[in-house]
Structure 1
Amino acid sequence: MRASLRAPVSTLTKTIKRFAMDTPSRRTTLTIALCFIVALIEGFDLQAAGTAAAGLRQTFALDPKMMGWVFSAGIIGLLPGAFFGGWIADRIGRKKILIAAVLLFGVFSLSTAYVSSFSGLLLVRFMTGLGLGAALPNLIALCAEAVGEQRRGTAISIMYAGVPLGGALAAVVAMLFPEHWQTTFIIGGLAPLLVVPLMMVLLPESNAFRQQQNSVNPTRTSTGQALFGEGRASVTLALWLSYFFTLTVMYMLLNWLPSLLLEQGFSKPQAGLVQMLFNIGGALGSLLGGVLLDRCNGIKVVLFVYTGLLAALGGVGLSVGIIPMAIAGFAAGLFVMAAQLVLYALAPPSYPTSVRATGVGAAVAIGRLGSVAGPLAAGQILAAGAGTTGVLLATSPGLVIAALTIISVIARSTSLNVSMNKAKA
């Protein structure tokens, strides 16, 4: 009986695969579509704890300090997840690690709905973060390697647009089920578990990775050599600085924007409106950054995006009415997400295929350090009495450093391409 069932299932699987892999364009579409779905779910799970915070606080009798540990547990898991997820993927494949990562954060997000102790809650949030962290560098690598150089930014931006949209869905679920916080984690856990079989059948492995693995002598390098060897030290350090300072500002805004607005005298509904516009701007910015990078001069794009971000932050600090503040909040979300997408698009081509996921994963991990540093720094600055203006002014030097370092990466890449073209001529 089992044998008779196994045969048609196997035939169906092969048929689906043949149809899905029929043309390169179909492989590309499948890769980006499935990666977008995973990014959507990742965005949902990244925001789940925040949207369910009130229910978690009441159920587990958590004070603010304990609640902070719940948030921190997930963030701490993101760091090793991003680094090791990329490092292992360079050895056994992007698809395998992405599937394992989705399975991991799906299981532990679902488990969050059923834990009964504070220590258990910390454990499942850490493990969820581990899976979420491991997924992102492989999503970036798969999308970057699915298309040609001219469309890389657009492909990554389409994929990453799923993250803010997923966060918005988490907020909607929390509003629909305000008395049942577990529903958020049940949905956030079941969705990835349902997607895993589709990924196993339909998601193609990166052609670049397969070709590298099938070479006569597939490259195996140490982590240090992968990141700093063959003249990559300056590029790696530049990427790390730009990731760190950009994500410092992004997560500072994600965590503190409503509080900063309340301090400036805006009402809670007004602060909520600006936060919503910030997220809408972020979704559009994720598309804008990649599309601009594919169609325009990279250095001009970086100058435009980071100048726009500095101007938007100035608007947030100086606006006194709800309409100008709403515009500033929307612009801040648009430009900070566009800046992040520029970074995500520029990291993959900075490394050869054999170490690409390692390089991207390390940069993402450094960015996660910024995601921890930003909210902490904002809290310290506010505690010192510097106010909203002090917080926003403190971000300016870091953003200037981020812009200059990523420009150096673009300039180096352009110089190398010119040299290679001259050599071919």
Structure 2
Amino acid sequence: MICLTPSDGETDMDVLSEIRRSRMSRFQVIAVSIALALILIDGFDVAVMAYAAPVLSREWGIDPVTLGFLLSASLFGMAAGSIFLTPLADRIGRRKLTIISLVIISIGMVLSVFATGTTQLMVFRVLTGLGVGGMMANLNVLVAEYASDKRRGSIIGIYTAGYPIGATVGGLVAAPLIPQYGWQVIFGIGAALTVIMLAVSWKFLPESLDYLITRRPARALERVNGILTRIGKAPVEALPSLATAVKEQSAIQEVLTRPVRFRTQMLWIGYACLVAAYYFANTWTPKIMATASSSDSAGVTTGVIANAGGIIGCFIFSALAVKYRSQILLVATLVGAAAAYVVFGLVFHQIGVAMVLALFLGILTTAGIAGFYATSPGVYTARARATGVGWMIGLGRLVSIVAPILVGYLISGGWQPENVFFLFAVPLAAAALCIVALGYSLKRSGAPLATEAVPAAAH
């Protein structure tokens, strides 16, 4: 724990803990609000491709395989951003990397408006995803650091819902505007919103106190005191002495050594299976429903309904996890999601029924993602938590790239849409078995089951 010494001569106190125990100041509320707005924009920018897909596939004569690659392009960028950009935050700061990521997203969205072919648009979507992937983890850190202990769970729950909220807003905007102005309009709106938030972040987004204290960039003490003053806390005379950092190898050893290695494998396999089904539904359902109904609007509406379900799912899981263990809720969610995929495959030609069921697809799959983030921290000790959970997220994003592309090949090869939904019910059931095995392993070793439901945004 980092301790700072106030300049007024009081005894040493843990200023960071004091901030987190206190009522949130206006400065903290603004910082958290900016992060919440940014995750909304991320959800909007990533989802627009799914809403533009039906029109684009007709105008450009895109075959299903190519469309699958196009839908996965931003997901590939997100994976690359998470792997290669996010670690820079520990060197250059959370705020600076967020600004850089916003610049990248803005460029990608603006260029997408003027794309004239699938290859160009695919490159621009990768660029957009690169910025989104680089920024999301940093925003999660800022929210956790600037939220008070009392409000942190609620705020992070809202933050988790921000991504599907942004995607839902994208659909609500796309439905009336794309038929009238063309697919470019939705990318233009996303670009404008991103540029606006870039300006807002440049002006108002603060740096992380934890980064300033641990990395000690230029003028660190001055910047720390500036933030403390704005929060309403006394400035400090000097930065504290830092404890010796735990070596990274220690975390890797814990994650990959028995018995934790088995639990790690169950987490990674289970999360990857869930994310595969989640991104299949999010990217392909609008197109499948548009084809089945001969109506682009019906496809967009179905996508909006599914994303709205995702918002509801985040809040439902967070509320239930106060009373029930995360693993129990997660298994129930995954089993329910598998059943919902089967039923959706059976009824999707009945457009009205399928739209209602799309709500449950969104609720169950997104609640499952929140469930993995509530469950996974309890598998590791504090020294290995970031490594274990971070690698789980990275693997999930890599799988998220493959799922839409695979579906493109399957449909191009003659698979009927209902069979694709049946197929993706299998990994959801497998994910449930992985969590059952994880819980059994924890119970057998006497390790406490994770019960804290603090979901984080890592789609």
Query: Does 2:257 correspond to 1:256?
Result: no
Query: Does 2:357 correspond to 1:328?
Result: yes
Q: Which residue of 2 aligns with 1:100?
A: 100
| TM-score normalised by length of structure 1 | 0.76
Q: How does 1:198-217 map to 2 (within 5 A)?
A: 198-200=200-202, 202-206=204-208, 215-217=242-244
Give the drift of 1:383.
5.5
Which residue identity is paired with 2:274? T
Which residue identity is paired with 2:255? F
Give the drift of 1:338.
0.8
> For the residues of structure 2 that align with 1:133 and 1:276, how far apart are their CA atoms?
22
Q: Deviations over 1:242-270 (max 9, x none)?
A: 2211111111112333455578x656365
Q: Secondary structure at the match of 1:161?
A: helix
Q: Secondary structure at the match of 1:25?
A: coil
Structure 1's 73 and 226: CA in aligned 2 closer, same or farther, altered over 3 A? farther
Structure 1's 197 and 321: CA in aligned 2 closer, same or farther, altered over 3 A? closer
Which residue identity is paired with 1:99? I
Structure 1's 249 and 236: CA in aligned 2 closer, same or farther, altered over 3 A? same
Q: Which residue of 1 aligns with 2:6?
A: none
Q: How does 1:149-298 map to 2 (within 5 A)?
A: 154-174=154-174, 175-176=176-177, 178-200=180-202, 202-206=204-208, 215-221=242-248, 225=252, 228=255, 233-258=261-286, 260-261=288-289, 268=295, 273-298=301-326
Q: In angstroms, what is the RMSD of aligned CA positions? A: 4.0
Q: Which residue of 1 aligns with 2:344?
A: 316
Which structure has greater helix proportion? 1
**Unaligned stretches of 5+ residues in structure 1:** 1-19, 420-425
> For the residues of structure 1 that align with 2:433 and 2:34, how far apart are their CA atoms?
34
Conserved? CA contact 2:31–2:146, under 8 Å: yes
Structure 1's 259 and 144: CA in aligned 2 closer, same or farther, altered over 3 A? same
Structure 1's 224 and 387: CA in aligned 2 closer, same or farther, altered over 3 A? farther
Count of residue correspondences: 398
Conserved? CA contact 1:343–1:406, under 8 Å: no
> For the residues of structure 2 that align with 1:186 and 1:102, how far apart are their CA atoms?
15
> For the residues of structure 2 that align with 1:139 and 1:189, how far apart are their CA atoms?
19
Which residue identity is paired with 1:286? C
- Shifted more, 174-183 versus 347-356: the winner is 347-356
> For the residues of structure 1 that align with 2:68 and 2:138, how far apart are their CA atoms?
29
Percent identity over the alignment is 25
Give the drift of 1:117.
6.6
Q: Deviations over 1:336-379 (max 9, x none)?
A: 11111222344456567777665544333322222233233434
Q: Which residue of 2 aligns with 1:375?
A: 404
> For the residues of structure 2 that align with 1:117 and 1:312, how far apart are their CA atoms?
36
Structure 1's 135 and 314: CA in aligned 2 closer, same or farther, altered over 3 A? same
Q: Which residue of 2 aligns with 1:390?
A: 419
Q: Deviations over 1:251-294 (max 9, x none)?
A: 1112333455578x656365555443222212211222233334
Q: Which residue of 2 aligns with 1:71?
A: 71
Which residue identity is paired with 2:185? T
**Unaligned stretches of 5+ residues in structure 2:** 1-18, 216-240, 451-459
Which residue identity is paired with 1:73? A
> For the residues of structure 2 that align with 1:76 and 1:246, how far apart are their CA atoms?
17
Q: Deviations over 1:127-174 (max 9, x none)?
A: 211111122233334444555888765433311322222223323443
Give the drift of 1:46.
0.4
Which residue identity is paired with 1:215? L
Query: Does 2:340 correspond to 1:339?
Result: no
